[in-house]
Amino acid sequence: MILPHSFFEKSTVAVAQALLGTVLIHDALEGPTSGRIIETEAYLFKDDPASHAYRGKTKRNAEMFGPPGRAYIYFIYGMYHCFNVVTGPEGTGQAVLVRALEPLSGIELMQMRRKTTDLKALCSGPGKRVQAMGIMPSQNGSSLRCGPLTLCTGGKTGAKPMPKGDIVCTPRVGITNGAELRLRFYLKGHPLLSRRCIHAKSTRRARCDLV
């Protein structure tokens, strides 16, 4: 079942947690790929200096201010793309960065795109994940409820909401502003999460709590 519009209208933190365990599917020309979301980060619109929306709307972050349930894809570090799910009321500028997936289907295609057979290296970070699934920058702003890129749960995906006790909450990775906010969520003890992410510097300093 495709995630309903109402799913994305909850608070960004709630959506970041609820996305864990759901399945992202990309039907690309070369073939389908899919994976189960195991790591997310929330980016808020105010009191969050790490958010692209913090200083208001720009050409780059415009899609972040669009309706919830769409993709916000941006270019970073001159090399990589990151994929976000827009959340909250339209115009506020909030999103959830989808960091890591557990690959489910199209694994051979992912291995070709990533030039590695190591399952751990396919989708264990935001840049890798976009590359593995063949997500294109032109898909920025596309709906995640129809089209080639969709978010699903239940039904044939077998995905179910995760119990709160399975979700760990830590500071976000790779930021300096707002590093104390614990807005990163992942499934406790998942074997495909990179050790580097779980023990990231910002994480080591602060507590890692269950939600």
Partner DNA sequence: TGGCAGATTTTA
Partner DNA sequence: AAAATCTGCCAA
Q: How far is the CB of 193 from DNA (least distance, A)?
A: 12
The contact set with DNA (CB under 7 A) reads 41, 43, 50-53, 55-56, 58-61, 64, 72, 74-80, 82, 84, 95, 97, 114, 116, 121, 125-129, 172-177, 195, 199, 201
Nearer to DNA, 82 or 157 (CB): 82
- d(CA 104, CA 107) in angstroms, rounded, equals 7
Q: How far is the CB of 100 from DNA (least distance, A)?
A: 8
Using alpha carbons, select from 122, 126, 136, 131 the residue that is nearest to residue 95.
126
Nearer to DNA, 127 or 148 (CB): 127
Nearer to DNA, 165 or 176 (CB): 176
Q: How far is the CB of 54 from DNA (least distance, A)?
A: 8
Which stretches does DSSP call E strand in 1-153? Answer: 23-28, 31-43, 71-76, 80-87, 94-105, 149-152
Helix (H) or strand (E) holding 186: strand 184-187
Nearer to DNA, 62 or 210 (CB): 62
